[in-house]
Amino acid sequence: MKDPRERLIFPLDFSDLKEALSWAEKLSPYIGTFKIGLELFVKVGPRAIEKVKKKTGAKIFLDLKLHDIPNTVSQAVRAAVSHGVDFLTVHVLSGRKALEEAVKAAEGGLKILGVTLLTSLDKADLLELGFNGEYLYKTEDLVYKLSFLAQSVGCDGIVCSAKEVSRIKEAFPYLITVVPGIRFEESSQRDDQVRTATPYEAILNGADFLVVGRPIRLSQDPIGTCLQIHEKIKKAIEEKNV
């Protein structure tokens, strides 16, 4: 993917379909994939997928982070296939059997992405959740272990932070790596993302796709911000290929 546009995913994190479509139409020349997550999907349902596809012609990333028993996950994946989405997320912590069923149900109709560790979680969160020992102090080891499971059952890719993506890409070069938590150096705004990186750092570390929401959505010049990200992506790709 030499075109930086194809590397960029914009999350349509809106509860109003009209607002989501307005953003999708405005950004479609600069965004390769639009992500439809829980907020919009719960509010609008599959109609959001149909409308965004019709408005933009872009790829659709349905980010539902499925985490349930194998049969339920399997049926949900089949439903997603019927809606013509390109990517769908399943929590790796749902277990081997659920992941296997997800991959089987996809049948090549979409790409299954295993969610490893949410980028909003830090060591204190992991401790509270019951993780201890090496996984508490080396989150990259936990993400690696989850990524190993995802690739072993046939997942097409994983979602991880830029802090772990280099090791994942080195170990599993054919695994698609999707990296959220993208921020800019000059940003001092604190939010719920704690394991973050710049677009340049993420691509240089091995990210295939960047999920960039708030830096674009909150910008006074969203299109200019997209173009700025394109330049950072191109710079990282050029440096990697030297």
Active-site annotation, residues: 65
Instruction: Mention every residue, 6+ apart, whose C-beta is less than 8 A from residue 46.
Output: 83
Q: What does the alpha-carbon distance between residue 211 and residue 115 come to, in Å, rounded to a whole number?
A: 13
Instruction: Mention every residue, 6+ apart, whose C-beta is less than 8 A from residue 218.
Output: none
Query: What SS3 class is residue 191?
Result: coil
* DSSP single-letter state for residue 59: E
Q: What are the two backbone dihedrals, phi and then psi, of residue 201, each rounded to the nearest 5 degrees? A: -60, -45
